[in-house]
Amino acid sequence: MAIVGFKCINTDENVSFDDCLKCALTYENNCHFPAEIINGIIQESTDTREGISVTKLLGCPRSTYLVEHNDVYVSLDNLYWLFRGTLTHAIMEKYKLDPDAITEKRFKRKIKGLTITGKPDIIVPKAGLIRDWKTTKEVPYYSRAYPNHEQQLNLYRWLINKKYKIDKLEVVYMDMSRVKICSVKKVWKLSDCEDFITKRASVLAEALKSNIPPPVPGEFPLYWQCRDYCACRDICAKLWQEETRQGFEDWSQKEWAGVNEKP
């Protein structure tokens, strides 16, 4: 099971990928999404890979679990960021100048029996540098990467450490008016990276093995990823209501104590 279609912006009905594309190709759909963008979103949202990705590790484990166990329909508005990111990466790849730079290569590494995967946007071995491209509404005011992006790049560094020695991490933020390169100020110890990965991956792996949904890493529905980025918000809401009726109002705080802490 997985994301299998879209919740139509106009009718709020569940529609298959094929029906959505057919509608867009009539050029009379008034959802304002052209078929090319819809096709890009479909390709990205149905991409499968072995193991647990760095992105999933940093996301909500309950959302990941619920997508694996349900047929999910999502609004195109909530998935547009997938296409936007893909478009940015394709443009950067087209205009790459450094022949020694490594772009869009997926890496895998095992830890405690779990396969962790990730695809840094660009690795420059001679500069000991990883860079990640991020489109955003507005570039950061301060010259420092956002905390969740700091986590992501540190985990990428751990992932490729056996092949490339990296000591510099940067995020290239792009909004509609300017570009800003922000450094990751704190490069984690590799042992701290392993601890962080192990805690989060173990929660997700155990849930997938036991068929018991993991908790939200925060208080539903206040956890920030619940608001705009979750494909399973409605399913999770019903599950949460059932759990709270059974007297488990504080499960998220108990289960996730210390898991989100940074080194």
Domains of the chain plus CATH, in order, are 3-77+201-255 (no CATH), 90-192 (3.90.320.10)
pLDDT for the residue numbered 173:
95
Answer for the pair 126, 168: CB distance below 8 angstroms, yes or no: no
pLDDT for the residue numbered 229:
67
Instruction: In whole angstroms, give the CA distance from residue 123 to residue 110.
Output: 20
pLDDT for the residue numbered 130:
97
Low-confidence spans in the chain with pLDDT less than 70: 1, 48-49, 218-225, 227-229, 245-263
Write down the residue that tokens 């042992």 correspond to: 191
pLDDT for the residue numbered 249:
46
Instruction: In whole angstroms, give the CA distance from residue 178 to residue 135.
Output: 10
Instruction: In whole angstroms, give the CA distance from residue 57 to residue 159.
Output: 13
- Enumerate residues 6+ apart whose C-beta is below 8 A from 130: 120, 122, 123, 124, 153, 156, 157, 160, 166, 168, 169, 170
